[in-house]
A and B are shown apart, each in its own frame.
Chain A
C-alpha cells in the first residue's frame, strides 16, 4: 500500500513540476511587468511582485496605440469567427447530408487545399489587395479567411455523426426548405462543434502575425501582435514596459480559453485520434 502511495506521490510531483514549467513564463512576466526595468537588471534578480504595474501600463499606453490596436484585433477576430462559423457550417451541412453532381470532386479539392502553405499565395495576394484597395484595411485580414477548409471538414464529420436523416426528412415534411432546415435543425444541434471551431478560429485570428505585418502598411493602424512587436523593437531597453505590453496582450485570450477550455481540448484532441 505504501509503495503505491509513494508512486502516486512521485507521479504527481513530476506532473506538478511540468505544470510549473508551463506556468512559469506567465508568473515571470507578471513579476517583470510589476517592477521597474532597474529591478529587472539587478543580480540576483528580484523574484517578488513590485508595485509599478500601473506606471508600466501608462508607459505602454503612451508609446503605442494599445487599445486601438486591440480594438482592431478584436474586430478582426470576432468578424472572422462569425463568418467562419456561418459559411463553414453551411457548407459542411451540405456536404454531410445531400447528394448533388460534383459533390465528391468538390470535397477532394477542399481536402487538397489544406496541404498548401500560405507563403505560396502571399505575394500575389498582396497585389490583389492593392488592386482591391484593401492594403492597410482590416478587410484584407477578414475576407480571405471568412471560410476555411479545415472548419468545413471538421463540421462535416460532426453533422454526419450527429444528425439523423429522419430529422431532416421530418423538417422537410414540416415545410422547411434547405436553408430553413439548416437554420432550425442543423445549427442548434451542432453547438459543441461550433463552440470548438469558434474558439479555434478566434485564437488563431487573435494571434496571427505574418499577414497583418505584411498587409497593414500604416503603422498607426495595426493589430495587437504587430503593435507589440513594434513596441519590442523600438523600446527594447525598457523591459518592464515591454513585458507589461506582452502581458496585456495575452490576458484576453487566456480568459477566453479558460472559459471554454474543456470543450476546446476535447475538440482539439478528438480529430487526431479518430483520423
Chain B
C-alpha cells in the first residue's frame, strides 16, 4: 500500500488550492491577528498622519500640516536628541563591558553557570520596579549615590532635577539591565570560534592583546552586529525608564523626553492623534535609518578585508 506523502500532490497534477486548506488554517491565527491588530492599524496610522483628529470630532485632512508642525516643534528635536544621546550613553558602555566580561568568563573554568544565571537576572526583572529602584538610588535626599558623595566630602547633586543627572540615571539603569544579556551573547560567540585559530596565533608568538584584535574581534563581528542592531532597536524605543523615573513631562529641561514618550504624550494625554501618527512614522524612519547605518558600518568593514 502506498500513501501519498503530505508534501506532494498525489495526482502529480496541480491540485486545487483548496486541498491545502489544513496548512492555511494552521497559519491563519498569526496572519489574521496581524491583519487586524498590525497591518490595518499601521495603514491607518499612515492616513492619520495627514489628518487632524482628537478622537471625538470628524477627521479632517490637513495635508502635510502635521509634518510641517513637527519639524518646527522644539520638543520633537529635543526628544530626538535625548533619544540618540541616551542610546549612545547606554549602548557604548554596555557593549564594551559585556565584551570584557565575556572574555573573562570564557577563561573561567569554575562557577560559570552561577555567573551566567546571575548576570542574566537583571534582564528579566520588571522595568517598572527597577526604574523605581534607580530613582531611589539617585534621589537627592536619601539616595545612595549622594550618600557616597557626601562621605567622600563631595557636594551632593540633585541628580533627577538637572538635565545631565537625568540622562546619567537613565543610562545607568539601561547599562545595568543589558550588560549581562550581551555578555552571554558574546560568550556564545566566543565559544563558537574554532580553537585551532588560537593555536596558530600561539605558534606565531602573538600575545593576548594581539590575538584579541586579530582573531577574536574579527571572528566575533556578526555577533557584534547582532548586539548593535538589537541595542539600536531597543534603545531608540526607550519609554518605561524615563516615564517612571521623571514622569510624563520628561523631567527638568525635558531631558528625559524620548521620542516614544513624546509620542505617548501626543496620542494618549493630548489626544492629538494625527500629530501622534506623524511622530510614529518618524520613529519608524529613525529605526530604519539607524539600522541602515549599522549595516553600512559593519558591511563596509567586511568588504575591506
Chain A residues in the interface with B (C-beta under 8 A): 11-12, 14-15, 18-19, 21-23, 25-26, 28-29, 32, 40-45, 87-88, 90-91, 93-95, 97-101, 106, 109-110, 113, 115-128, 143-144, 146-149, 152, 165, 168-169, 172-173, 177-179, 181-182, 203, 206-207, 209-210, 214, 224-225, 228-229, 232-233, 239, 242-243, 246-247, 249-250, 253-254, 257-258, 261-262, 264-265, 268-270, 272-273, 275
How far apart are the CA atoms of A206 and B27 in the complex, in Å?
26
Chain B contacts for A182, CB-based, 8 A:
26
Identify which of B3, B127, B128, B226 contacts A275 (C-beta below 8 A). B226
Nearest residue in A to B38 (C-beta to C-beta)?
A121
B136 contacts A32, C-beta separation under 8 Å: yes
Q: Is B45 a contact partner of A124 (Cβ separation < 8 A)? A: yes
Other than the given A19-B115, A119-B284, 13 more pairs (CB < 8 A) read: A21-B176, A22-B176, A32-B136, A100-B24, A109-B31, A123-B45, A123-B280, A172-B5, A209-B240, A225-B127, A228-B128, A254-B125, A269-B187
Given the known A-B contacts A14-B104, A125-B37, are A110 and B30 also in contact in the complex, defined by CB atoms under 8 Å? yes
B141 within 8 A of A: yes
Task: Give chain B residues whose Cβ lies under 8 Å from the Cβ of A210.
Answer: 239-240, 260, 264
B125 x A253 contact (CB < 8 A):
yes
User: Chain B contact residues (Cβ within 8 angstroms of A): what range?
Assistant: 35 or more
Contact check, A172 vs B132: say whether CB atoms are below 8 A apart: no
Query: Could you show 12 A-B contacts with beta carbons less than 8 Å apart?
Result: A12-B111, A22-B180, A106-B31, A120-B42, A124-B48, A126-B267, A172-B3, A209-B239, A229-B244, A265-B120, A268-B184, A272-B227
Residues of A within 8 A of B237 (CB): 117-119
**How many Å lie between the Cα of A169 and that of B116 in the bound state?**
41
Cβ-closest chain A residue relative to B268: A214
Q: Report the bound CA distance from A90 to B26 in whole Å.
A: 6
Q: Tell me if B's interface is mostly helix, strand, loop or mixed.
A: helix
Per-position 1/0 for B135-157, Cβ under 8 A of A? 01101011010010011000000
B267 contacts which chain A residues (CB < 8 A)? 122-123, 126
Contacts A100-B20, A122-B267, A123-B48 given; does A152 touch B30 at CB 8 Å: yes
Q: Is B287 an interface residue (CB 8 A)?
A: yes
B31 to chain A: closest CB distance in Å?
A: 7
Partner of A239, one of B3, B38, B136, B260: B136
In the complex, which of the residues A113, A172, A206, A273 has the most CB atoms of chain B within 10 Å of its own CB atom?
A: A273
Within 8 A of A (CB), among B202-244: 222-223, 226-227, 233, 237, 239-240, 243-244
Assess A120 versus B284: contact at CB under 8 Å? Given A41-B142, A261-B120: yes
Chain A residues in 8 Å Cβ range of B227:
272
Of chain A, the residue at the smallest CB distance from B272 is: A123
Shortest Cβ gap from B44 to chain A (Å):
4
CA distance A270 to B189 in the complex (A): 9
Would B150 and A254 count as touching, CB distance under 8 A?
A: no
Tell me the complex Cα distance, A11–B104, Å. 7
B68 touches A (CB below 8 Å):
no
- Give bound CA distance, A134 to B150, whole Å: 52
Residues in B neighbouring A254, C-beta threshold 8 A: 121, 124-125
> Do residues B151 and A206 form an inter-chain contact, with CB atoms below 8 A?
no
Minimum CB–CB distance for A247 against chain B, Å: 8
Chain B: minimal CB distance from A172 (Å): 6
Give the Cβ gap from B186 to chain A, nearest Cβ, in Å. Answer: 9
Interface presence of B11 (CB below 8 A): no
Contact B107–A11 (Cβ < 8 Å): yes
